[in-house]
Structure 1
Amino acid sequence: MTGLLNLTTPEILMLALICFGAGIVRGFSGFALSALVMAGAAFILPPIQLIPICWWLEIAASLLMARGGWQEADRSLVWTLVIMSALGTPIGLSLTTTLDVEMSKLIALGLIIALALLLLFRVKIPGLATKPGLYCTGLLAGTVTGLASVGGMVIALYVLSSDTPARKMRAALALFLFLGSATSLAWHFAFGVMNNEAILRGIAFAVPAICGVWAGTQLFTPRFEPYYRPFCLTLLCALSAIGLVRVAIT
């Protein structure tokens, strides 16, 4: 297994644990799977190698949660976001594939902290909940997906600014993550990001992630729902800050 994945045994165990934990959070909060993996595992693998792994995790989690209310989502809005995201993904990937590894880590972790803080403090961006804002959101979501696989957090900002009910927000995020992952696959192959090694890693780590998602859905308690999102976003900030410190001192 270590030879196929080109990872040491401790690295495999640590990545499996991170994926399982991120899956739990995705199961009860509905988002942040890729962001948590990126924030927690950036010291093991560079973002360019984590992005295709996150692709497999998102697809697996989305299929597992398919019965979680996709019908509640505004499909015309989601499709607009998906199309614009498909245009933005190559922008992010072109940056990620050309940047220095340490710089790409700094950008990825910095993005996660910035987006998490905006969501944590429920910052509403003026003009975001407009037609031009919708197009810009999709384009930006695709760009940051290519940079750090965190496009879902940009969509969450859009939904927050538009005062969409929580139920529809969760459904829109889930549907976007599934459709967005499907449309980004071609770009991953085009940039050489999704290679045989990435496929094997993605499939292998999808297993603990799926187990985590299942556990998270079982742990979900409606009366604690108001606390899930702040907990998740605070955890993202903490993990990303630790990652930035690691990069700074190495």
Structure 2
Amino acid sequence: MEWLSRLGDSPPLVVLIAALVAGTVRGYTGFGSAMIFMPVAGAYLGPKTAIGIMWIIDATMQLVMVRSTWRHARWGEIGPLFIGYVVGLPLGIYTLMTVDPGPIRWVTSLSIMVALAMLLTARRVETSPGLPATIATGAVSGLISGVASLGGMVLSLFWLAGPSRNEAVRGSSVAFFVPASLLSGALLALAGLFTAEAVRIAAWTMVPYGLGIGLGSFLFSRADARLFRPVAFAVIAAAALTSLPALDGWLR
């Protein structure tokens, strides 16, 4: 096809497969796509190009999910969470640029694992936390997003620990990252990460990523509802594990 020839050479097949799998995870759980895509794309295309690609395809394709998930989002929590996120994200980016990220990544990954273990062994909270705790969670999410790109895992733990139904966890994750992606996109643009190469490869990966979101959404609507939380917990555990600095030589 002529339009394909204009895009130049396709990225490695493994990058396209990673986009498909990442989209499937995003479509099913509402989060976790960067965990799948970034290590693979970063290894083959470089981390800066991978970040630009990830933002372009996710910011575009998440709009497809918004229509079906919007009504399930917990809007009373999303606002305060985002206020905290706006404060925490620049602090996280500043920390990443000025402090050795290795120890911080260790603490972040292990803290998420501990929080997940506590969540698995404790009973769910039947009431939503108060405003200060919600804002503080958003700030921690923003801080960890800037340092280790794991802020989405913090928010997911927040919703999974509370009274939210599966639809609310998924819908809140999608809704939150619409404004969050605008903020992160502005910061990435200032950093010059939306290069012509990133845009070109994003055009290639957009299709498998979109197909994955469609597949994940289909699985969410048809699969046993009892599977959602185990899958979400597995995604969070995998994200924390693969972010450990000790595994950089294998995954990045």
Specify the TM-score bucket, using the shorter chain as the normaliser: 0.7 to 0.9
Two-structure CA RMSD over aligned residues (Å): 3.8
Structure 2 match to 1:13: 13
Normalization by structure 1: what TM-score?
Answer: 0.75
Q: CA distance change for structure 1 residues 137 and 193 in 2, over 3 Å: closer, same or farther?
A: farther
**1:140 CA drift (Å):** 1.8
Whole-angstrom distance in 2 between the partners of 1:46 and 1:57: 17
* Contact map agreement 2:85 2:140 (CA 8 A) in 1: yes
Code of the aligned partner of 1:187: L
* Structure of larger gyration radius: 2
Please say if 1:51 is aligned against 2:48: no
Please say if 1:139 is aligned against 2:139: yes
Structure 1 match to 2:215: 215
Question: What are the within-5 Å matches in structure 2 for residues 73-88 of structure 1?
Answer: 73-88=73-88
Kindly provide the CA deviation profile for residues 217-241 of structure 1, in whole angstroms up to 9, marking residues without a partner as x: 2333544232244235435645764
Gaps of 5+ in 1: none
Whole-angstrom distance in 1 between the partners of 2:221 and 2:241: 29
Whole-angstrom distance in 2 between the partners of 1:41 and 1:241: 18
* Contact map agreement 1:142 1:151 (CA 8 A) in 2: yes
Structure 2 match to 1:234: 234
Whole-angstrom distance in 2 between the partners of 1:114 and 1:38: 21
**1:70 CA drift (Å):** 0.7
- Matched residue of 2:163: which SS? coil
Taking only the aligned residue pairs, the percentage that are identical comes to 25
Task: Say which is worse superposed, 236-245 or 31-40, in terms of deviation.
Answer: 236-245
Structure 1 match to 2:206: 206
Kindly provide the CA deviation profile for residues 152-199 of structure 1, in whole angstroms up to 9, marking residues without a partner as x: 221112223332233222221110011211222222223334444434
Normalization by structure 2: what TM-score?
Answer: 0.75
Code of the aligned partner of 1:67: R
Structure 2 match to 1:247: 248
* Contact map agreement 1:25 1:232 (CA 8 A) in 2: no
* Contact map agreement 1:72 1:168 (CA 8 A) in 2: yes
Aligned residues: 243
Question: What are the within-5 Å matches in structure 2 for residues 1-150 of structure 1?
Answer: 12-44=12-44, 47-97=47-97, 111=108, 115=112, 118-119=115-116, 122=119, 129-150=129-150
